[in-house]
Amino acid sequence: MPDTRDPPLNHEIPALERWKRDVIEPTKRSEQMSWMVLSCALALAHEVGIFDKKSALSGKSSGLFDNVKPDAKTYTEHLKIRRERLPKLLYCFINLMPSRLGCTSFMCPVSTGALLEVDNVLSTDHNEQWQSFMNCWVELTKLTKSITDTLFPLMTADDDEKFQNCLQEKQQLLSHWYTTVDFGNCQYEDILFIEYQYLRVLTSSTGMQRVITHYSQPQSVHNSRAHSNQTMSTA
């Protein structure tokens, strides 16, 4: 016989609850774990000198591995390229994740400037397609950070004109970025397209959220006043 302590069957659980249990909550846990991994990656990058311009220059000009075997030299060059690609990758991941979690990026402006400066020093030896892709992704990441830093705080502001002007400006910048990217000749174009569509929907949703908030507040105030009047009349 069934026991009351047994978990309910799937067909007994409402669809909304199943969606929350099977999709929303695992996604949140995954993003929170990714956030912790990124914080560890940033700390380790500082530890090994990824953001150190002098270290990058000395590593680039060093002839330490000139006399090693060809296979070891190839492996070493592969590791060096992976190390040199880290700055922009860290910049993108660490600044894109906060827009999904609704929190502040833990990469300070000083680290951001040093990160991109080191990457520019090392960028001449990189694959041209990779550089093109990462440059596009960095620009989109900067735009994402600009939207979260300037547009989001205006969602609750009283100045509707200021919000609309800011929203229109961000949408124009986003459209301009899209027109400058050659998706046909860009490596990893799917990543750029997905990130662009996500940011476009996120930006448009702020306008929708403000409209909903604007029209729901008077209704709630009206309901509150009506409830107060009804209470006073029955007292």
Give the CA dihedral 176, 179, 181, 184, nearest 10 degrees.
Answer: 170
Give yes or no: residues 99 and 172 share one domain: no
Give yes or no: residues 206 and 120 share one domain: no
Instruction: Determine the Cα–Cα distance for residues 62 and 80; give it in Å rounded to an integer.
Output: 12
Give yes or no: residues 135 and 165 share one domain: yes
184 CB-contact burial (10 Å; exposed 0-12 / middle 13-18 / buried 19+): exposed
Tell me which residue of 200, 211, 209, 208 sits closest to 144, measured CA to CA: 200
Query: Does the pTM exceed 0.85?
Result: no
Give the CA dihedral 96, 172, 146, 26, nearest 10 degrees.
Answer: -30
Select from 80, 97, 126 the last residue of a domain: 126
1 in any annotated domain: no
DSSP letter at 8 equals: P
202 in any annotated domain: yes
2 in any annotated domain: no
pLDDT score of 76: 79
Give yes or no: residues 84 and 18 share one domain: yes
- State the 10-residue block means of pLDDT for the chain, 235 residues long: 61 80 86 88 85 58 56 77 82 86 74 59 63 87 90 82 90 92 77 91 87 70 47 45
Give yes or no: residues 26 and 110 share one domain: yes
Domain of 235?
A: 130-235
Give yes or no: residues 35 and 48 share one domain: yes
Give yes or no: residues 160 and 211 share one domain: yes
pLDDT score of 105: 81
